[in-house]
Amino acid sequence: MALQSGPGHAGGRALCAAGRHAPNEEFHLTSSPRILAAPVPAAPRLRGLAGAVLAGVGLWFGGAQAQTNADLEALSQRWADAALQGDAPAGMPLRLQVQVGKLDARLQLAACAKVEPYLPPGTRLWGRTRIGLRCVQGGKPWNVYLPVTVQAFGPAWVLNNNVRMGDALSAGDASVAEVDWAENDSPVVASQPDWVGQEAARHLQAGQALRQNMLRAPQLFALGAQVKVAVTGGGFTIISSGRAMAAGAEGANIRVRMDNGRLVSGVVNAQGVVEVK
User: pLDDT tens digits for 52-92?
Assistant: 334 445 555 544 455 788 888 988 899 988 888 766 666 66
pTM of the model: 0.65
Nearest to 32 by CA among 157, 136, 159: 157
pLDDT tens across the length of the chain (277 residues): 332 233 333 344 444 443 333 333 332 333 233 333 333 333 333 333 333 334 445 555 544 455 788 888 988 899 988 888 766 666 667 889 999 999 988 888 898 888 999 999 999 899 999 999 999 988 899 999 999 999 999 999 999 999 999 999 999 999 999 999 999 989 999 889 999 999 999 999 999 999 999 999 999 999 999 999 999 988 899 999 999 999 999 889 999 999 899 999 999 998 999 999 9
- Spatial separation of the C-alpha atoms in residues 100 and 5, rounded to whole Å: 12
16-41: per-residue pLDDT in tens?
443 333 333 332 333 233 333 333 33
CATH 2.30.30.760, the chain: domain bounds: 219-276
In CATH, what is the architecture of 219-276? Roll (2.30)
Contact, 221 vs 72, CB < 8 A?
A: no
Q: Which long-range contacts (CB under 8 A, 24 or more apart) does 36-39 make?
A: 36/181, 36/187, 36/188, 36/190, 37/187, 38/126, 38/127, 38/152, 38/181, 38/182, 38/185, 38/187, 39/88, 39/89, 39/92, 39/94, 39/152, 39/181
CATH 3.90.1210.10, the chain: domain bounds: 153-216
Question: Residue 247 CB: number of other CB atoms within 10 A?
Answer: 15
pLDDT of residue 68: 84
Helix pair 69-87, 48-55: axis angle to 10 deg: 170
CATH number of 153-216: 3.90.1210.10
Question: Residue 148 CB: number of other CB atoms within 10 A?
Answer: 23
